[in-house]
Chain A
Amino acid sequence: MSKTNILEVNNLQTHFYTKEGIVKAVDGVSFEVKAGETLGIVGESGSGKSVTATSIMQLLPASAEIVAGEVDFKGSNLLSKSKAELQKIRGNEISMIFQEPMTALNPVYKIGNQLAEVFQLHQQLNKKRALKEAKDLLAKVGIPSPQERLEEYPHQLSGGMRQRVMIAMALAAEPQLIIADEPTTALDVTIQAQILDLLQNLQSKFGLSLIFITHDLGIIAEIADRVIVMYAGQVMESAAVETLFEEAKHPYTQGLIDSIPSLNYSRESLVSIKGVIPDFFELPAGCKFSNRCDYAIKKCFQEEAKLELANKGQLLKCWRWRELERKGLGDGDVLTGS
Chain B
Amino acid sequence: MEMCLLEVENLKKHFAVDKGLFSSSQQKVKAIDGISFTLRQGETLGLVGESGCGKSTTALTVLRLLEATTGEVKFKGQDIYKLTKKELKALRKEMQIIFQDPDASLNPRQTVGDIIGEGLKIHNLASKETREAKVKELLNRVGLKSEQFLNYPHEFSGGQRQRIGIARALALEPELIVCDEPVSSLDVSIQAQIINLMLDLQKEFGLTYLFIAHNLNLVRYVSHRVAVMYLGKLVELAAKEEIYNNPQHPYTRALLSAIPIADPTVDREKIILEGELPSPINPPLGCNFHTRCPETREICRQEEPNFINRGAEHWVACHF
Contacts and interface: CB of A to CB of B under 8 A. Distances in A.
Interface string A327-338: 000000000011
B260 A219 contact: yes
A139 interface: no
A262 B222 CA distance: 11
Interface in B48-107: 50-51
Interface in B165-207: 187-193, 195-196, 199
The number of chain A residues touching the other chain, given as a range, is 35 or more
Contact of A160 (B187, B199, B276): B276
Contacts of A265: 220-221
A190 to B, nearest CB: 5
Interface string B218-243: 10111000000000000000000000
Nearest to A292: B189
Interface stretch (A28-36, A73-81, A100-108, A271-279): A271-279
Interface string A41-65: 0001100000000000000000000
B261 A218 contact: yes
A56 to B, nearest CB: 24
B281 interface: no
A87 interface: no
A174 interface: no
B258 A264 contact: no
Contacts of B273: 190, 193-194
B124 interface: no
B17 interface: no
Nearest to B260: A218
A228 to B, nearest CB: 15
A269 interface: yes
Nearest to B194: A272
B110 interface: no
A193 B270 contact: yes
B297 to A, nearest CB: 21
A41 B26 CA distance: 49
Contact of B221 (A220, A264, A272): A264
Contacts of A246: 265
Interface residues of B, number: 41
Contact of A262 (B189, B261, B264, B277): B261
Contacts of A193: 257-258, 270, 272-273
Nearest to B256: A189
Interface in B253-267: 254-255, 257-266
Nearest to A42: B188
Interface string A184-224: 00001111111011000000000000000001111111101
Interface in A214-272: 215-222, 224, 241-242, 245-246, 255-265, 267, 269-272
B187 A272 contact: no
B159 interface: yes
B160 A276 contact: yes
A197 B258 CA distance: 10
Contacts of B220: 261-262, 265
Given A197-B272, A245-B264, A190 B187 contact: no
A269 B50 contact: no
A338 B50 contact: no
A45 B270 contact: no
Contacts of B159: 276
B255 to A, nearest CB: 6
Contact of B264 (A241, A273, A276): A241
B8 interface: no
A185 B219 CA distance: 18
Q: Which 6 A-B pairs have the closest CB atoms?
A: A218-B260, A272-B192, A261-B221, A188-B50, A193-B258, A273-B189
Interface of A: 44-45, 158, 160-161, 188-194, 196-197, 215-222, 224, 241-242, 245-246, 255-265, 267, 269-274, 276-277, 337-338
20 contacts: A188-B277, A190-B273, A191-B276, A194-B274, A216-B260, A217-B188, A218-B260, A218-B261, A221-B263, A242-B264, A242-B265, A245-B262, A256-B189, A259-B188, A259-B189, A260-B188, A261-B217, A262-B221, A272-B191, A277-B157
